[in-house]
Amino acid sequence: MDAFNNFLTGTITLFSDPLGILIFFGGVIGGMLFGAIPGVSMLTLAAILLPFTAHLSAEHGIMLFSVIYCTGVYGGAITAILFNIPGAPENAPTAFDGYPMTQKGQAGKAVGAAVMCSAIGGTVSCIIMMLATAPIADWAISAFGPPEIFALVFFGLAVAASVGAKTFWKGWLSILIGLMVAVVGLDPVGGIERYDFEMPYLLAGIHFIPTILGFFAVSEIFVQAEKKAKGSYTAPKLSVNFPTLKELIEHKFAVVRSIVIGFFCGILPGIGATLAAFMGYNEAVRWSKTPEQFGKGKLEGVISSETANNAATGAAMIPLLALGLPGGALTAMMVGVFQMHDMEPGPLVFINSAELVWVVFAAMFFANISIIFIGFLETKTIINLLRIPFQFLAPMILLLATVGAYAVRGLTIDVVVMFLAGVIGFFLRRSGYSVAGIVLGLILGKIGEQTFAQAMQMLHFEWGGFFDRPIALGLLIVGVVTLMGSVYGEFFKKKPPAAETPVS
Amino acid sequence: MQRPEIYPGVVFPETRKRNRIMGKLRSGHLVEAVLWLLLCLFLFIYSFQFDQDIEIYRFGATAWPRAIILLMAIAALGQLYHHWKRGDEASVQMISAAVDDGSEEAAHEAHHEGLKWYASTFGFLIIPFAYMRVPDWIAALLSAEGTGVHAIRIVCAAILIGIFVYSMRRNMIGAMLTLPLFFAAMLEDMGFYTLAPFFIIGVMYLFGETRPKPMATIMALIFGLLMLLFVKILYVGLPVGNIHPFYDIGSWIVTVLQ
C-alpha cells in the first residue's frame, strides 16, 4: 500500500510540474526517435544530453534518462525490423525474425508486435521494480559494506566481459581500458597524481562526459561514414499493423516467459537487456514446436525478444538505485547524472531523495504505457525521418556533441578528448572491442578502486576477511566461476556448426 | 547485401586466409598483440613515477593500476592465442554487440584495411596534432610574441588546411576521422562561430554530398538552429576564439543574438 501511495505521489509530482511534463514527453519521443534512426541510438541521445542535465534538477535529469531508457529500447527495434540494423545490442535478436518479416512484406505486423510487447514487458517490469527496489535498498543498507560492493563490482565486470565484444579476451580488454582510464588523476586514498603526464588537465582525471560522447556518439558517426563508403543504405517501405488479439493470445506463454527471463537478466549488473533479449529469443526457439521457422520471419521471435528486453529496463534500475551499481552503458550515464548533482545512487537515495525515486518510477511506468500510443503515432513519423540523408544528420550530431563536451567545464581540450575518444572508439569497434565495456569499466573503475581500498582497510588488509562476509564471498565466488566458465569456454568448447542461419 | 550472421557466437565472417603466419594468426593479429603489450610496458614503467607509500594504505598508489596492467597483458596474450587457434572467429559464449553493429564488415567490405590504409589514416591524424604543437615551436624559434604568435598560428592553420583539402579525396575515412579533431584543435584560436559553418560543409562533403544548394541550405539551418537553441535560449558560452579577426566575428554574433 505504501508503494501505491508513493507511486500516486510520484505521479502527481510528475504531472503537476510543466517542466517535468515537457521533459517526460521530450524523453519519450527523443528515445524512440534516436532509437529508430539508423546510425544513432538512445545512447547517442543520452550522451549528448548528459552535460545539459547539469542545468536540470537531479529529479528531472534522472527521470529524463530513465524515460529515454524505456522508449529507446523499443525504438531500436524499428531499425532492427526494417533495416536489420539493431538500434542497440538488446534489439539484435529482434532482427532475426523482424527483418525477414519485412522482406516478406510484414514489417507493419512486426513493428506492431514490437510496440505491444515492449509496452507489456516494460510495464510489468516497472511494477515489479516499484515493489522490489525499496525492500532491497532497505536490506542493502545493513548488508552491504565496501567488501560487498567491491565483490558486486567484480561480479558485474566478470559478467560484462562476456557481452558486447567479439571475443572473451576483447571483452576483458575493453573493460580494462575503461578501468585504466579511470586510474588517471589523483588516487582515491592518498591523493597521489597518477598518469597525469605533467598536464594539469589530467590531474582531475579524464572527464567521463567527453569520453562517453566520443565513444558512443562520435564513433557511431565514423562507423556510419565507413558504411556510407561501402554503400549499404536503403529506405524500406512500412505500415503499422498491430497483431490481432488472437495472435497475442496465441503467444501469451511467450510473453509471460519473456517477462520472467527479462526481469531476472535485467537485475544482473553488467548485462541487463542484452542478455535478456538473447535469452528470451533462445527460450522461444527451445520451447517452440516449430523451431525451424525461427529466423525466417516468425512473429514469436519478435514478441519474445522485445518483451524480454523491455522487461529488463525496470529490473536494471534495481541494482542502480538499491546498490548504486550501473548494469549497462545508459545506467552508467545515470550515475554520471547523480554525480553531477553531488549525489551518489545507492540505498541512501531512498532515504534522502525518496521523491526523486518515485517520480522516476512513475515516469518509467507511464513511459512504457505511452509506447503503445506514441509508438503507434511516432512510427509513422519515423518513416518520414528515415528519409533524411545521413550526411545532413551527421554534422548536426557532431556539433551537438561538441557543444555538450565544451559546456561541461568550458574547456576546448574536452572537445579534443571527445573526438580522440571517437577515433579510438572507431578503431576499437571495427576490431571487435566493446565501447559499452569501456564505459562500464570507466564508471565502475572508480567505485571499484575506492571500495577495494575501503574494504582492505576495514578488513585490516587480511584477505581472509572476505570469508567472514557471506554476501561478499558469494559474489566473489560467482564472479570467479563466471570468469572460469568463460575461460573454459574459450579454451575447451568447440564452436557449434555454422549450418543454421537464423536470418535467411 | 546480406549482413553476416549475428546469432550469438555462431557465425562470423570468414577467416581471411591471406597473410597467415602461424595457425590462423595473421600479421595484423600480431601487430595488435604487440601494441597491447607495448602499452602495458609503457604504463608499467610510467607507474614508477608515482610509486609512493601511503601511510594508511599498505598497497600504495600503484597496486590497483599495476593489477590492471597485469590483467591487460594476460588478456592480450589470451587474445593472441585466440587468434592463433581460431583466427577472426567470435568466442563461443559471447553475447555479441560489437560484432553485430556492422562496423567490422563495413571496414572489410570498404577495403579499409591493410598497412597502407592504416599508414595513410594515421598520417592524416597527424594534422590536428601538428596544429597543436608546431605553431608553438615556430613561435619559440622566432621568439615571436603577441600578434606575431597569432600570425604564425593563422599561417600554420592555412598550410595544414591546404594539406588536408589536397589529400582528403585519397582517404575519405582518414579525412572524416581527422576533420573533427582538427576542428577541435582550432576551436581555442578560431572560435566555434567561425569554424562551425565550414565544419558542417566539410562533414557533409565527406559523407558524399556535393550539391552546393542543399549544402548551403542545410548548413544555414543547422548553424541557425544551434545558435538559436544554445546562444539565444540557453545562453551557453561557446568559444569565441582568441585571434583577430575570428574573435571579433564570434563576439559580434554573440552580441547580436543575445
In a domain, B197, yes or no: yes
Whose CA is closest to A259, among A370, A366, A362, A124? A124
Cell reading at A421? 575518444
The rounded distance, in Å, linking the Cα atoms of A127 and A113 is: 21
Q: Do A495 and B177 touch (CB under 8 A)?
A: no
pLDDT band at B72 (very low <50, low <70, confident <90, very high): very high
Residues B203 and B163 in one domain: yes
| CB A99, CB A84: distance < 8 Å | yes
Query: What integer pLDDT is reported at residue A211 of this predicted model?
Result: 86
Residues B232 and B155 in one domain: yes
Give the distance from residue A301's alpha carbon to the nearest chain B alpha carbon, in angstroms. Answer: 13
Residues B120 and B79 in one domain: no
Of the partner residues B64, B82, B199, the one whose CB lies closest to the CB of residue A395: B199
Give the distance from residue A376's alpha carbon to the nearest chain B alpha carbon, in angstroms. Answer: 26
Average pLDDT, chain B: 83
Q: Is the per-residue pLDDT at B219 higher than 90?
A: yes
Residues B75 and B163 in one domain: no
Residues B74 and B128 in one domain: no
- pLDDT per residue as tens digits for the range B85-99: 887 777 765 654 444
The rounded distance, in Å, linking the Cα atoms of A434 and A161 is: 9
Stretch (H or E) spanning B165? helix B147-167
Of the partner residues A189, A392, A432, the one whose CB lies closest to the CB of residue B57: A189
In a domain, B4, yes or no: no
The rounded distance, in Å, linking the Cα atoms of A360 and A63 is: 5
The rounded distance, in Å, linking the Cα atoms of B226 and B224 is: 5
A400 touches chain B (CB under 8 A): yes
Query: What integer pLDDT is reported at residue B3 of this predicted model?
Result: 40
Q: For chain A, which ranges sit under pLDDT 70?
A: 1, 37-40, 83-89, 163-164, 229-242, 268-272, 274-275, 378-387, 493-504
Query: What integer pLDDT is reported at residue A132 of this predicted model?
Result: 83
Which residues are within 8 A (CB) of A56 and not within 5 positions of it... i.e. 6 or more apart?
A23, A64
Task: Give the residue-averaged pLDDT of B117-125.
Answer: 88
Longest dimension (CA), chain B: 67
Stretch (H or E) spanning A258? helix A252-266
Q: Do B89 and A501 touch (CB under 8 A)?
A: no
Task: Give the residue-averaged pLDDT of B58-78.
Answer: 93
- pLDDT per residue as tens digits for the range A15-69: 888 998 999 999 988 888 877 765 567 777 888 888 888 888 888 999 999 999 8
Touching B: A residues 338-397, CB under 8 Å: 389-392, 394-396
Q: What values do phi and psi take at A186, rounded to 5?
A: -85, 140
Q: What values do phi and psi take at A185, rounded to 5?
A: 115, -155
- pLDDT per residue as tens digits for the range A375-416: 777 666 666 666 678 888 889 889 988 888 887 778 888 899
Which residues are within 8 A (CB) of B187 and not within 5 positions of it... i.e. 6 or more apart?
A402, A406, A412, A415, B195, B239, B241
Give the distance from residue B123's alpha carbon to the nearest chain A alpha carbon, in angstroms. Answer: 14
Whose CA is closest to A399, among A419, A384, A417, A413? A419
Give the distance from residue A227's alpha carbon to the nearest chain B alpha carbon, in angstroms. Answer: 5
Q: Do B106 and A430 touch (CB under 8 A)?
A: yes
The rounded distance, in Å, linking the Cα atoms of A174 and A144 is: 28
A490 touches chain B (CB under 8 A): yes
Query: What integer pLDDT is reported at residue A89 of this predicted model?
Result: 63
pLDDT band at B9 (very low <50, low <70, confident <90, very high): very low
Residues B224 and B175 in one domain: yes
The rounded distance, in Å, linking the Cα atoms of A159 and A469 is: 21
Q: What values do phi and psi take at B25, rounded to 5?
A: -75, 130
Of the partner residues A230, A392, A433, the one whose CB lies closest to the CB of residue B110: A230
Task: Give the residue-averaged pLDDT of B210-234.
Answer: 89
Which residues are within 8 A (CB) of A503 and not within 5 positions of it... i.e. 6 or more apart?
A84, A95, A96, A99, A100, A295, B2, B3, B5, B6
Residues B52 and B166 in one domain: no
For B214, which residue in chain A has the nearest alpha carbon?
A392
For B86, which residue in chain A has the nearest alpha carbon?
A495
The rounded distance, in Å, linking the Cα atoms of B44 and A108 is: 56
Q: Is the per-residue pLDDT at B58 higher than 70?
A: yes
Sign of the Cα torsion B154, B158, B159, B161 reads: positive
The model's pTM is: 0.77
Query: What integer pLDDT is reported at residue A97 of this predicted model?
Result: 85
What are the chain B neighbours of A395 within 8 Å (beta carbons)? 199-200, 203-204, 218-219, 222
Whose CA is closest to B2, among A83, A311, A59, A16? A83
The C-alpha angle with vertex B230 and arms to B225 and B235, in degrees rounded to 5, equals: 145
Query: What integer pLDDT is reported at residue B14 of this predicted model?
Result: 46
Q: Do A420 and B181 touch (CB under 8 A)?
A: yes
Q: Do A223 and B102 touch (CB under 8 A)?
A: yes
Q: B25 is in which domain, residue-wise?
A: 20-88
The rounded distance, in Å, linking the Cα atoms of B136 and B133 is: 6
Helices (H), A144-251: 146-160, 168-183, 200-203, 208-212, 219-230, 245-250
| Total count of domains within chain B | 2
B100 touches chain A (CB under 8 A): yes
DSSP letter for A37, please: S
B113 touches chain A (CB under 8 A): no
| CB A84, CB A219: distance < 8 Å | no
Q: Do B207 and A394 touch (CB under 8 A)?
A: yes
In a domain, B100, yes or no: no
For B113, which residue in chain A has the nearest alpha carbon?
A430
Whose CA is closest to A159, among A266, A263, A261? A266
Q: Do B236 and A407 touch (CB under 8 A)?
A: yes
Query: What integer pLDDT is reported at residue A238 of this predicted model?
Result: 56
Measured between alpha carbons, how far is residue B151 from residues A319, B136, B148, B157, B192 in Å? 56, 12, 5, 10, 19
Residues B56 and B135 in one domain: no
Cell reading at B116? 597502407
Stretch (H or E) spanning B22? strand B20-22
Task: Give the residue-averaged pLDDT of B91-118.
Answer: 63
In a domain, B95, yes or no: no
In a domain, B37, yes or no: yes
